[in-house]
Amino acid sequence: MESVSADRSNEATRLVILGGGPGGYEAASVAAQLGANVTVVERAGMGGSAVLTDVVPSKTLIATADAVRRVKQAEAFGVHVDGLDSAVTDFSVVNHRLLDLAKEQSSDIRNSLERAGVRIVIGEGRLIDNHTVAVAHPDGSEQTLDADAILLAVGAHPRELPTAKPDGERIFNWTQIYNMNEVPEHLIVVGSGVTGAEFASAYNLLGAKVTLVSSRDRVLPGEDADAAGVLEDAFKQNGVNVVSQARAEGVERKGDKVYVTLADGRVLEGSHCLVAVGGIPNTADIGLEEAGVQLSESGHIKVDGVSRTTATNIYATGDCTGVFALASVAAMQGRIAVAHLLGDSVKPLNLDLVASNVFTSPEIATVGVTQRAVAEGKYQANIVKVDLNSNARAKMMNVEHGFVKIVSRKGSGTVIGGVVVAPRASELIYSLALAVQNGLHVDDVAETFTVYPSLSGSLGEAARRLHRHL
C-alpha cells in the first residue's frame, strides 16, 4: 500500500482535539497526515461513545437479532432446524461479544493514530482560553496543553426524564442496556426515534415482548413516511405493540416490574424499560465561554459550514454541534475542519448529500432530498417508488417488506434523493448516494448494468420509470 507523506509545512501547527469519537479520531488522522502536531484528549477510550457504548455495540446486538431472524425464517426456504422452537439467545455470550468487539475497535483506532504520530492523553479536558487546554487525569494529576487550534468533539449523553431515572437494572438509557444478562420478558421502549425503533426491532427478534411508546402518530417521525409505514407493518406482523400519540409521564420500578405512566392516565406494565428520548450535548462546564465559543439555545455549539465556532481558531464536530447525530457526519465535519485549518482543499458541509440508515428489520436508508421537502415546495421534483414484491431476488430471499424510491429534480432529471427499505439497505443506498453526490442524471442510473437477480435491480427500474417524466 502506498504510504502518504506528511506535509511538513504544517508541522508547527499544534492541534488539540477534545474527544476521541468519530469526529475526533478522523480529524486527528487527517491532521497528522497533513503534518500537524496532534494531541487527542479522551476520557473513556478511543472511539468515544460511538464505539464503546453506542454505535458499535448496538449494531452488533442488531446483527445478532438479524441472525435470529434468518434462523426463524429457515423453514420458509425448506430448511428444518432441530430444536428451533426451543432455541434461546445466550445473552452472556451476546453481551460479551459486543463489548469485546467495541474494545477491539477502540484499540485498533488508538493503535492506528499512534502509528500516525498522534499523541493520546486520557483524561477530562477543559478550555482555559482559546489556546490552552487543562487535562485532569484519572489518577488526580493535571497537565496543561498549549494549542494553536482546538477541535471540540465532545459528543452527547442520553437525555433523562426527571420522572424516569435509570437504575441500570430495570430502567435503562441506551448506554446501560447491555447490563441485561437475559432476554427481557417484556421491554417497554419509551421513544420512537431511531434509537428506540432500533432497540424495539432488535429485542423483538431476540424473543422479548416489546411495547414501543411513541408521542407522535407514527414511529420514526423524522424519516420517510412510506418507510415508517412499512416498518410499522413489520412491527405489527412481528408482534411489537406500538402505542401511538402517547407521552410517557414517568417510569417507576417496583421489584421485578416497571410501570410506565402515560399522560392520559394509562399505565403500562413490563419487566424492563428503555428510555430513548434523545441526547444532551456535553458542552456544560468545559470552558467554552472563557474561550469565546457560543452555544445555541439547545446547548449545542454554533458552527459554520467548515465546522468553525465563534472563536476563529476553535472548531467543533459531531453530536455537540446538533447538526446530524450521525457518526459519518461527525467524521466529515472533522475532516472539513482540519482541511480548512491546515489549508487543504475543502468544501463546506452539504446536508443534502448525507446518507443515513436506521438499523431496524427491515433497514431504512435515505440520502439527499426527502419527499417531505418536495411536498413542502422546497424542491420541484419527480418521485418514483418501486415495491420489492415484484423483485425476483426479494422473492428468493423471502423479503416481505420493502421498496426503493428515487427523487429527481424536475426539468434537469438529476438524482437528488432516495430511499431504500430492505435487508442491508445500508449497503444499497451507496449507489444512490453516489448519484446524488455527483449530480447524475436518472438515465445514468437507468443505463447502468445491474446484476440479475438483485435487489439493486429495483433501483434501475425506478430510474427507468423516472425517464418517462422527462
Summarised one tens digit per residue, pLDDT across range 6-49 is: 455 676 899 999 999 999 999 999 999 999 999 999 998 999 98
- pLDDT mean across residues, the chain: 94
Sign of the alpha-carbon torsion through 11, 15, 21, 26: negative
Grade residue 2 by pLDDT with cuts at 50, 70 and 90: very low
Q: Are 5 and 90 in contact (CB under 8 A)?
A: no
pLDDT (tens digit per residue) in 50-74: 899 889 999 999 999 998 888 888 8
Residue 260, strand partner residues:
251, 268
Residue 280 has pLDDT above 70, yes or no: yes
Helices (H) and strands (E) in the chain, counts: 13, 23
Asked if the peptide bond before residue 453 counts as cis, ω within 30 degrees of 0, the response is yes
Residue 253, strand partner residues:
258
Q: Is 101 exposed, middle or buried (0-12, 13-18, 19+ CB in 10 A)?
A: middle
C-alpha cell at 299: 446547548
Distances (CA, A) of 425 to 265, 402, 459: 39, 9, 12
Closest C-alpha among 365, 294, 354, 293 to residue 327: 354
Average pLDDT score over residue span 446-452: 97
Grade residue 193 by pLDDT with cuts at 50, 70 and 90: very high
Closest C-alpha among 201, 196, 189 to residue 272: 189
Distance between CA 17 and CA 39 in Å, rounded? 6
* Torsional class of 346: left (φ above 0), alpha (ψ -120 to 50), beta (otherwise): beta
Residue 268 has pLDDT above 60, yes or no: yes
pLDDT (tens digit per residue) in 345-390: 999 999 999 999 999 999 999 999 999 999 999 999 999 999 999 9
Which single residue is written with the C-alpha cell 494549542?
147
- When mean pLDDT is compared across 37-51, 78-92, 106-120, 122-136, the lowest value belongs to 78-92
pLDDT of residue 1: 34
The residues, ordered by sequence, that sit 6+ positions from 419 with a Cβ below 8 Å of its Cβ are: 224, 226, 227, 364, 365, 366, 371, 403, 404, 405
What backbone phi and psi angles, to 5 degrees, belong to 108? -60, -40
Q: For residue 316, what is the enclosing H or E element?
A: strand 314-316
Residue 5 has pLDDT above 60, yes or no: no
Distance between CA 426 and CA 437 in Å, rounded? 16
Average pLDDT score over residue span 87-114: 89
